[in-house]
Amino acid sequence: IDINFPCGGVACTQPVAVVSGSPQISACPSEVLKLDASASTGGGIKPLAYAWRVDPTRSNFADELNARLEQLDGNDAVAIALGDLPLGGTQFVFLVNVSSFLGLASETVEFVVKRSGGAEPSFSVDGPPQRIARPALATQLLGVATLAACWQVSKGVQIDFEWTLVNITHSATGVPAPSAVRDALVLPSPLLSSLLLPP
């Protein structure tokens, strides 16, 4: 690799951090908080390095969590799983940076996780929070729900899903879509975990 032109005379790709996971975890003492940054890009020919932190001004038990997260820094921290979370914590604002072997770093990405007051299941949409799809093709979203760690299986394990459309905007301009476009999106029944977005 040429030290002066490491990317062959063109600008090197800037890393982009992408985080996915459930924005809510249960109040169960044995609950494990899981976040994934595998959709991040810009590493080039070598894996990205990951640095996870929590915002000390907006997160409970930030000093304790950051001490644990600092030990994970590196190429293997593409995903994290934190157990034994302090029971008094109700909000954790994660800050994630990724960097390439060339020393280029991404902008900081924020992901907020809140702790519920009971044994509610956690929910996330499978895949990255933002994705690119061809306009002429339908796009399927898959919801993933996980029972709370302390949920008693004897009470039953059926999880019903309910999808709500908040808004639709044009990605290039940010202008809200016409009502006819919103009305064309048919939401599935509450029992289904998947949602099909029309072209």
Alpha carbon distances (Å) from 165 to 19, 99, 162, 168, 188: 22, 35, 10, 8, 11
Q: Describe the strand order of the beta sheet including 109-115 as a list of residue ranges.
A: 24-25, 109-115, 91-99, 49-54
What is the C-alpha separation between 102 and 173, in angstroms, rounded?
33
What is the C-alpha separation between 113 and 25, in angstroms, rounded?
7
Identify which of 86, 87, 89, 50 has the alpha carbon closest to the alpha carbon of residue 70: 50
Residue type at position 19? V
Query: In sequence order, which ranges of 3-121 are alpha helices (DSSP H)?
Result: 62-70
* Tokens 């956690």 found at: 122
Q: Which tens digits make up the pLDDT trace of 33-83?
A: 999 999 999 988 889 999 999 999 999 999 999 999 999 999 999 999 998
Q: Which tens digits make up the pLDDT trace of 93-129?
A: 999 999 998 889 999 999 999 998 888 888 888 877 7
Q: Which two tokens stand for residue 54?
A: 């929590």
Q: Which two tokens stand for residue 60?
A: 């409970």
Q: Which two tokens stand for residue 126?
A: 């499978």
Q: How far is CA 152 from the centre of its chain?
A: 27
Q: Over 60: is that where the pLDDT of 4 sits?
A: no
pLDDT value of residue 6 = 61
pLDDT value of residue 56 = 94
* Tokens 């001490």 found at: 67
Q: What angle do CA 194, 195, 197 make, to 5 degrees?
A: 150
